[in-house]
Amino acid sequence: MLKLEELSWPQLEALDRAHTVIFVPVSPIEEHGPHLPLGTDMYTCRALTEALAMQLEERHPEMTAVLLPMTPLGSSTVPYLGSIGSPPRMVRDMLMYVGRAFARDGFRFVVAVSGHMGLSHLLAMETAARKVSRRYGITMMAPVANVWRRMVRDKALVEQCAELPEPITGKALEVLLKGHHAGALETSLMLHLHPDLVQPGYRHLRHIGPGQFLRWRGWTRERWAGYIGEPALARADFGQIILATIARLAADLVARTVKGDAPAFDEVFPLSREMGRMVLRGSLLVGAVGMAGALAGFWFRVWRPAGRLRVTHKD
């Protein structure tokens, strides 16, 4: 596993383009409740990228992973004290510039990784990956959304949680797997990665449902504590399993791509596919409503008045 900033250009030039994967970690500074640091997404993203690269190289020794430094950008951040959000276009353009640079240098595989799960952020990453792949003839991926979805249904994860000294099964596992903002899952990851940065008061935080966040309007912090879910349920051993599972699933996807077993579009760009379907359905609905309106207008303005005309004949 190599770090780009530590390489000279001859060292970069010497890498085998067919077996080198460039990893681009992208996550913002964002508030994560009173118990987690503002850099939670960045810490998670960095750890995930390193774990992914390590698994890839361990299971496929012929491959080389090159890690870029963290880029502190992200859209869909919570508008709260300490959050720094960027427009989705900025995230997309940055990744397109990075992808173009490595395509210019002959590299064929680029993977964008995120610890931030904001919808517009993930869509921007997928959009950049699709455009770079299409324009420059390389393979760029942003597999985080797909991997997180597969993670919550992973059988190996369920088995590992059941084998813990204090097993996590059934409803308890379902609660922990909910990806609420700064909830039990993210707190578990940080307890595993950086327990020194987790405020001990997390054990006493009450449950907060999504409804309270939806009622919050941002003008006062008293109406919402900056998190959703139950951080008090977090466990470091669960965070360790989560990180290893995500890294394993992502490494499988990347390895398949490098070896020529191209994943389906839905597997690599699930959000883009869903948004495309939503746009199509919306277009069809708008078209149907427009047609109905036109027919109604024709009926009331033309056909109906014409039907009322009376023709009289004079002798």
Over the stretch 248-303, which tens digit does the pLDDT of each residue have?
999 999 999 888 876 655 656 656 554 444 444 444 454 555 565 556 655 556 55
Q: Give 145-172 pLDDT, tens digit per residue.
A: 889 889 988 999 999 999 999 999 999 9
pTM value is 0.83
User: Which of 70, 2, 3, 5 is closest to 40 using CA atoms?
Assistant: 70
Identify the residue whose tokens are 């277009």. 283
304, part of any domain? no
299, part of any domain? no
Provide the token pair at 274: 């869903």
167, part of any domain? yes
109, part of any domain? yes
Query: Where in the sequence is the domain holding 13, given as residue range(s)?
Result: 2-266
285, part of any domain? no
294, part of any domain? no
Identify the residue whose tokens are 């353009």. 93
- CATH code of the domain in which 106 resides: 3.40.50.10310
**Coil, helix or strand at residue 2:** strand
277, part of any domain? no
112, part of any domain? yes
DSSP 64-113: EEEEPPPB---SS---STT-----HHHHHHHHHHHHHHHHHTT--EEEEE
Evaluate whether 37 touches 197 at the Cβ level (below 8 Å): yes
Number of domains in the chain: 1
Maximum CA extent, the chain: 106
